[in-house]
Structure formats: structure tokens, C-alpha cells
Amino acid sequence: MFRVILLITSLIAISFANSEVRISQNLPYVDVNVSGQTIRIHRINDTANLLTDDFSKTSRVCPPFCVQPIRPVDGVKNIEELELIDFIKTKVANHKGIVIDARTPKWYKLETIPTAINVPFTITQTNNMQIIQKLFKLFGAKVDANGKFDFSTAKELAIFCNGIWCAQSPTFIRNITKYGYPKDKIYYYRSGMQGWKLLGLTTEINTPKEVK
């Protein structure tokens, strides 16, 4: 039985290695081990595949669905798909980074990027410092007796929402930097879910990693 499983696994790996639809020229797929679970990120290997869901739409009413600036806050790094995949492989897998889906929970429950946790942007729209402290502690920051933050152990954050027309992750970024989260520890994936899906990259559906 083990030999059969091993053979099937090997055949799958070979099929991906010979795939016409690679992530990049020398990268057919990426395997990431997160908390003992192996996640494979690859592209849909059907050259006739088309988007048919809500992400196939080109036009949305603005406001609120307006094209977002490439950099919501000066000092925040911009990344795209290859950089985000590398972030998952190097930062998330080694517990040095977190991928944050800043959308509202209903979007997150439908579909998200592998390893992402849901921290809705609405959580950051608060003047309650206890909530901000709790959030920043989740991200690895420390708070002293006077309520002052120590970000020396804070994790790097890769933040996204629905796409270049979605203001949820830019709002999230503006709010957490307002409270002092280091800009050099923040990455903005502006293309978001629409860009990720446009390239046929792996998604997770109905995953229960929601932060309330």
C-alpha cells in the first residue's frame, strides 16, 4: 500500500514538473510545510481555464470600489505573486511572518490564499487601545506596563484583499501604522485575490482560521 501511495505521489510530482503551466520558468510548484502540514502552491494546469466567478468582473462602482494607490503608506513594501510565494515559503514556514487576509469574514470563508489568517480590516478601525494591543500581541509585538509597544519581535506581515479596486487592505495598513506598527515589516500585495486567481494559483476554501 505504501509503495502504491509513493508511486502515485511520484507520478503527481512528475506531472507537475512536466507541466506547461509553471509558476515561473524553473518553478513548477512550491511545497511549504506549515505547522506540520504540507501545502502545495501551483497554477491550474488547464490552458483553457477561465475565471467565471465574481473576480471575472472588470468594473465596479467607485466609490467605494476605486483603484487603489500602489503604495498606501510610504515605507511599506509592495510585492506581487512571486514575492508572496517566497514570503510564505521563507517567512510563514519559519514563523517569522504572517499572511493576512484583511477582507470581511464572508469573503475569507469563500476562498483565500494558502496559509492566510483572517483579520478583518474593520478590527483596526477602533480607538480602543486594548483591541490594538491584543492585535499587535497576536503579531508578536510586546507591550510594557505603560502600554508602550516593543516591535523588536513583531512578525512581518503580508497583507491583501480582493484586488487593486479593494480598499480593505490599504485601510488595514494605514490603521496599524498609525498605531506604530513598523512600516518596514509590512508588505502590500495589491493585486489581491483577483490577481492571484487570474494566474490560476492555488486557493483554500472554507478554512476556519478566522481572527475575531
Q: Residues 6 or more apart from 200 whose CB is under 8 A from it? A: 21, 43, 44, 46, 49
Residue where the block lists cell 477582507: 103
Q: What is the mean pLDDT of residues 59-69?
A: 96
Contacts of residues 22-28 at CB distance under 8 Å and 24 or more positions apart, as own/partner, are 23/81, 23/82, 23/85, 23/201, 24/82
Tell me, yes or no, if the pTM score tops 0.85.
yes
**CB-side neighbour CA atoms (13 Å) of 42:** 20
Angle (nearest 5°) at CA 72 between 67 and 77: 120
CB-CB contact of 172 with 102 (8 Å): yes
User: What is the pLDDT at residue 64?
Assistant: 95
pLDDT tens digit string along 177-194?
A: 999 999 999 999 999 999
The answer, yes or no, to whether residue 74 has pLDDT greater than 80, is yes
